[in-house]
Structure 1
Amino acid sequence: MELWNNPSCSKSACARTALDAAGFPYRLRPYLEEPPTADELIDVLGRLGARPWDICRTGEPAALARGMADWPREERDVRRWIDAMVEAPELIQRPILLLDDGSAVVARTAEAVDEALRRTHRQPG
């Protein structure tokens, strides 16, 4: 299990606390210092079943400077969004939890973390 973590984010802190309390091992990925590649972000989007604009923080200064709130959200625009988030990883919603079963969760709520832990617990092991 891997947690894309921003140490200054309260939602990331809550996810870390829940994982620690549950005793689940995980790797922290400081995605601001270790930005994902375009291929990694494409993989995560597939795991989430999401489009890039679904996990983009369009209120961030980097998004406002690019005018991303007004960018088209069509299939032909996917790569533009991905390239922007790779260039400015602070645009990526956090925290993202990558589960060992190949799925992923945007773990912004206690409920999302709990569901991820339930799914992880059900895995044969």
Structure 2
Amino acid sequence: MKIYHNPRCSKSRQGLAILEDSKLSFEIIKYLETPISKIELQEIIKLLGIAPIDLVRKNEAIWKENFKGKSLTDSEIITAMVENPKLIERPIVINNGKAIIGRPPEIIKSIL
């Protein structure tokens, strides 16, 4: 099991606490420090079963200033997230071939 975690995000910290309380073993990936590759991000999106745009944090300044209102392909959106990991919605938990965005954090319990 993995959690893609941003320690500065309260929802991500709440998600991490849920995993810690579960007593299950898991890996913490601090994706702002250890960037996600394009292939890895494509796999996460596939596991989530969503369009790449649905993983973007559209209120981030980077998005508003550089991408908002533009017609982008899925590949361009994924590249934007790889190059600007702050744009990736968080936390993401992957367990047994399933993935979920922990918003609200309690939803993480559904894949434990």
Normalised to the residue count of structure 1, the TM-score between the two structures is: 0.84
Q: Which amino acid aligns with 2:70?
A: W
Q: CA RMSD in A?
A: 1.2
What is the match of residue 91 of structure 2?
95
CA-to-aligned-CA distance 1:83-107 (integer Å, 9 cap, x gap): 10000000000000011x2110001
1:102–1:3 distance in 2 versus 1, CA, 3 Å = same
Give the structure 2 partner of residue 120 of structure 1: none
Q: Please identify the structure whose Cα radius of gyration is greater.
A: 1
Count how many residue pairs are aligned between Structure 1 and Structure 2. 112
Match for residue 64 of structure 1? 64
Equivalent position to 2:109, from 104, 111, 114: 114
Structure 1: segments with no counterpart, 5+ residues: 118-125
How far does residue 108 in structure 1 lie from its aligned partner after superposition?
1.9
| TM-score calculated relative to the size of structure 2 | 0.94
Consecutive unaligned residues in structure 2, runs of 5 or more:
none
Q: Which has the higher helix share?
A: 1
**By how many angstroms is 1:71 displaced?**
2.8
1:9-64 deviation line (CA, Å, top 9, x unaligned): 10111111111111111110000011111111100000000111101011101111
Identity of aligned residues (%): 32
Runs of 4+ residues deviating >2 angstroms: none
Residue 54 of structure 1 is matched in structure 2 by: 54
Q: Distance in 2 between matches of 1:116 and 1:39?
A: 23
